[in-house]
Amino acid sequence: MINAYQGWEEAKRRGNERQFCWDNFLAVSTLKMIANMKGQFARHLHDVGFLTSSNCSHQDANRYSTNWNLIKAVICAGLYPSVAKIEMREFQKRPPRISTEADGKVAIHPKSVNSEEKYFSSQWLIYHEKMKTNKIYLYDCTMISPFPLLFFGGDLLVTTDKGYDTIQVGSWIKFHAPRKTAELVKDLRKELDRLLEEKIRRPSMELVASRNSDTHECKILNAIIELIATEEIKTHRRLEHRDDNNDDDFSHYHKN
């Protein structure tokens, strides 16, 4: 959806807006409505002090707009707890086994772009809606890595599950991790929640990740951004050497 919207913006700049929408089955009126809502949202955020400019194209508001891992983390924050687990991530002739906590077995709708995927590097999907016909289908789903769930999902619990040290998100999402790693992630999450609460109370508070700053707040944000921004690459490499039926294992992050 983001790619379609950005493609429309580029087509407008080139002067072939209507042809782009015709070729891609998009409604000009809907895209203009989204653009108006985007502008209104930016103005509201500026009015309360979250943005330095009311222009949604300002560089300060788009610092990470090309980092897809962070964008997916934002989607996770907005849609949680609409989470589904992919039980089998690599498949050729049959669809993946997918389940949710509330419904058990579900499926990706055939019209979803993800229905054609043959491999997922992570076990987790975040989805916008589900609908029941002959089976329960997920619509508008996005694959996400574990860290968005850990930092933007439900409450965290460090525990032991089947003899493994585990960090649990909410009531059913579990990841294997050494206890020290799990406690570190939990502490980072606690600090992030504290920073966000403070930012909400004082919107004018400067809360920007910067490599040039040595403040405690910047160190926390930089650490979380680094984990989320690079996780999918590390996860993909790691999954090439492990059994797809196991829960995600965070052991490789302990030394970092």
pLDDT digits (tens, 9 = 90+) for 52-106: 899 998 988 888 888 999 999 999 999 999 999 998 655 555 677 899 999 999 9
For the chain, what is the domain count? 3
**Beta strand pairing call for 104-108 and 124-132:** unpaired
In a domain, 223, yes or no: yes
In a domain, 68, yes or no: no
In a domain, 240, yes or no: yes
In a domain, 32, yes or no: yes
Same domain, 195 and 245: yes
* Residue range of the domain that includes 198: 148-253
- Average pLDDT value for residue range 173-193: 93
Same domain, 156 and 211: yes
Same domain, 117 and 165: no
pLDDT digits (tens, 9 = 90+) for 11-43: 999 999 999 999 999 999 999 999 999 999 999
In a domain, 126, yes or no: yes
Cβ burial of 212 (10 Å; 0-12, 13-18, 19+) is exposed
- List b or e across 76-90, with b for residues whose CB sees 16 or more CB atoms inside 10 angstroms: beebbbbbbbbeebe
Q: Give the model's confidence band at 250: pLDDT under 50 very low, under 70 low, under 90 confident, else very high.
A: low
Same domain, 153 and 249: yes
In a domain, 67, yes or no: no
pLDDT digits (tens, 9 = 90+) for 131-148: 999 999 998 999 999 999
Q: Give the model's confidence band at 204: pLDDT under 50 very low, under 70 low, under 90 confident, else very high.
A: confident
What's the sign of the alpha-carbon dihedral 109, 229, 90, 158? negative
Same domain, 97 and 37: no
Q: Which of 112, 146, 180 is the last residue of a domain?
A: 146
Q: Can you give the pLDDT at residue 254?
A: 44
Same domain, 236 and 168: yes
Given a contact cutoff of 8 angstroms between Cβ atoms, the answer to whether 24 and 1 are in contact is: no
Same domain, 89 and 163: no
Backbone angles phi, psi at 2, to 5 degrees: -65, -45
Same domain, 156 and 239: yes
Average pLDDT score, the chain: 86
In a domain, 14, yes or no: yes
Cβ burial of 114 (10 Å; 0-12, 13-18, 19+) is middle
- Listed in sequence order, the residues at least 6 apart from 231 whose beta carbon sits closer than 8 Å to its beta carbon are 69, 145, 146, 147
Same domain, 6 and 58: yes
Q: Which of 146, 173, 197 is the last residue of a domain?
A: 146
CA distance 30 to 100: 31
